Amino acid sequence: MAMVCLTDFEEYAKEHLPKATWDYYAAGADDCCTRDDNLLAYKRIRLRPHVLRDVSQTDTRTTVQGKEISFPVGFSPTAFHCLAWHEGEMATARAAEALNTCYITSIYCTCSAEEIVAAAPNGFRWFQLYVYRDRRFTEQLVGNVEKLGYKALVLTVDVPYLGKRRHDIRNQFKVPPHLGLKNFPAMVEVKKQDKEGYIIPQLTSDPSVTWKDVHWLQSITRLPIILKGILTKEDAELAVEHGVQGVIVSNHGGRQLDGVLASIDALPEVVDAVKGRIEVYVDGGIRTGNDVLKALALGAKCVFIGRPVVWGLAYKGEEGVREVLRLLKDEFRLSMALSGCRNVAEINRSLIQMSKL
């Protein structure tokens, strides 16, 4: 089967993964309205191409937090990669390294942070973080990933409690005991097990976390702090005031609060609010090179993909993830050229028009 678009990878993964695993990756919260709108929102945006621009040479490179990457698509943090491929996050890390892009490692990994670094020692990685009730554990984890060479902390801020994902409840979703949650070797509350030893994933981040905890994180690390889960101009302005280095406009792939804005619809007001003082990224619903172009035209510095990475893993492991990235990169380059953009700096809001579908 020729893989000519990301939907092909999605269909393969749906056919070959166990149902409970597929449902875990695919699920949204409640009625899945936000999950689905993340995709539909891109279809409401129309492109306004510019012609006669000499696009015989195009350059997809950009920078995030001062680091050059080959094109503006990175990996969002997604959990439990070993459920999709036996090498899990190590395969993901090698693919990101091979195509020189940013991989945000999930805190809920089935490979340890150390194993991921060993698998791709020259990779460009950020680390997803939650603040836990046990601040000592959080501090220990931050110190470890900083020592391992991770380049930023991505504090996920939209999970004071876990959203209601109906399929996971119906399937009684569990992580097999031979995999484990490698970043939590001593945390019984996170590694709650049933009588067969299966791990029942439980997010135990502290629901009392506030903006004061951002300052606390800044006091224990020299790493840049990126906030993931910003959807409003008010929170974007607060992020700037609290000295973070970037925000990811995200609704958690529609897996938390159902009925919120699609990420791409929330992006413009966040970009306008920060006024270039910090970098703004977006995730959720990116499936084509056109989507990448639209997000950058609306002000995103880079986009991040989640589910497509897992589909690539399910297809061919590391090589499958590489194929997903290469496909998106080729589509993005073509979209740039057909829109009259020779490099990323030429992408701006003049290229788009919002459409009412």
Rounded mean pLDDT of 248-261? 97
Task: Flag whether pLDDT at 65 surpasses 90.
Answer: yes
What is the pLDDT, as a whole number, of residue 241?
98
For residues 189 and 208, the model is more confident at: 208
- pLDDT of 130 strictly over 80: yes
In DSSP terms, 280 is beta-bridged to: 247
Residue tagged 């195509």 (tokens): 99
Outline where DSSP puts E strands in 16-108: 45-47, 62-64, 67-69, 73-75, 102-105
Q: What's the Cα-to-Cα distance from 292 to each of 1, 223, 250, 275, 297, rounded to whole Å?
A: 25, 27, 15, 21, 9
Cβ distance 316 to 95 under 8 Å? no
Contact between 109 and 199 under an 8 Å Cβ cutoff? The reply is no
Q: Single out the residue of 251, 247, 297 nearest to residue 277, CA to CA.
A: 247
Q: Is the per-residue pLDDT at 229 higher than 60?
A: yes
pLDDT for 52 beyond 90: yes
Quick one: pLDDT band at residue 177, thresholds 50, 70, 90?
confident
Q: Name the pLDDT band for 187 (thresholds 50, 70, 90).
A: very low
Are residues 105 and 125 in contact, defined by beta-carbon separation less than 8 angstroms? yes
What DSSP line would sit under 254-271, residue for residue?
A: GTSSTTSPPHHHHHHHHH
pTM score of the predicted model: 0.94
CB 284 within 8 A of CB 263: yes
Averaging pLDDT over each range in 111-125, 165-179, 343-357, which range is the top one?
A: 111-125
Separation of alpha carbons 180 and 187, rounded Å: 11
Mean pLDDT of 81-87: 97
Q: What is the model's pLDDT at position 354? A: 72
Q: What is the pLDDT at residue 122?
A: 97
- Average pLDDT of the residues of the chain: 93
In this predicted structure, the answer to whether residue 204 has a pLDDT above a threshold of 70 is: no
Q: At what angle do helices 307-316 and 318-339 cross, to 10 degrees?
A: 130
Residue 355's contacts (CB-CB under 8 Å, 6 or more residues apart) are 44, 45, 46
Q: List 46's β-bridge partners, or say none.
A: 353
The per-residue pLDDT for 193 is: 55
316-357 pLDDT per residue, tens: 999 999 999 999 999 999 999 999 999 999 999 999 987 654
**Class of residue 346 by CB neighbours under 10 A (exposed 0-12, middle 13-18, buried 19+):** middle
Q: What is the pLDDT of residue 189?
A: 42
Catalytic residues: 252
Structural domains of the chain sorted by starting position, each given as residue range(s) with its CATH number in brackets: 6-354 (3.20.20.70)
Q: Phi then psi for 156, rounded to 5 degrees?
A: -80, 120
